[in-house]
């Protein structure tokens, strides 16, 4: 994946990044009551290496914690790890909170080794979860390939598109918040 190197498009050496594309912001976390943090820590580093700004919450994080971070940080995506069960409810509750907060454009990605069954993956995808990576994905794509896939799936996000800008009723000026010293 070439995004996020910070080099200009005119550079002749190394990967390039469009100067008009801002870095993706990704919240990473492991689910509540899940102490398995090795996988999300590895993925966090790979997501950073792919050029994303990562807001890492660590392990044992509630759905509300994750959703709050996404909203507060204007994140484009969430990458979650869940190795202990309860993932269907966890992932779908995050989706619900984000949708209710007007953040239906936020992509949600996850994995959990073999703990998330193919039927649960299907149900999660139908519930609006962007992608649950399976052990088969790991074997065919590898870790870097899964991150590249995730980054590719967030390419179409533009938090400043016309539709979202129209949601702002008025432009902000210094007068809105008092004089600027």
- Widest distance between CA atoms in the chain: 59
Closest of 63, 55, 54, 58 to residue 37, by C-alpha: 58
Break the chain down into helix, strand, coil percent, rounded to 5.
Answer: 40, 15, 45
End-to-end CA distance of the chain: 44
Token look-up 């959990």 returns: 112
Higher pLDDT, 47 or 22: 47
Angle at 37 between CA 33 and CA 38, to 5 degrees: 150
pLDDT of residue 93: 97
Q: What is the pLDDT of residues 86-103, one digit of tens each?
A: 889 999 999 999 999 999
Domains of the chain: 25-175 (3.40.50.280)
pLDDT at 3 exceeding the cut of 50: no
- The answer to whether the beta carbons of residues 106 and 79 sit under 8 Å apart is no
CA distance 14 to 11: 7
Mean pLDDT check: name the lowest of 37-41, 42-46, 85-89, 155-159.
155-159
Tokens of 96: 């619900």
pLDDT of residue 158: 58
């Amino acid at each position: 994946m070439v995004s996020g190197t910070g080099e200009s498009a005119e550079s002749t050496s190394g990967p390039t990044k469009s100067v008009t594309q801002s870095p993706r912001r990704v919240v990473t976390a492991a689910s509540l009551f899940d102490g398995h943090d090795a996988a999300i820590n590895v993925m966090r580093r790979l997501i950073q290496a792919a050029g994303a700004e990562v807001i890492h919450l660590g392990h044992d994080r509630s759905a509300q914690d994750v959703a709050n971070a996404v909203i507060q940080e204007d994140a484009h995506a969430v990458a979650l790890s869940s190795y202990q069960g309860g993932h269907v409810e966890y992932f779908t509750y995050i989706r619900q909170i984000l949708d209710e907060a007007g953040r239906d454009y936020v992509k949600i990605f996850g994995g959990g080794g073999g703990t998330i069954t193919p039927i649960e993956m299907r149900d999660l995808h139908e519930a609006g979860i962007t992608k649950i990576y399976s052990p088969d994905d790991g074997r065919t794509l590898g870790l870097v390939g899964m991150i590249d896939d995730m980054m590719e799936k967030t390419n179409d996000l533009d938090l400043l598109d016309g539709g979202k800008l129209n949601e702002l009723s008025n432009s902000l000026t210094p007068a809105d918040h008092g004089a600027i010293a």
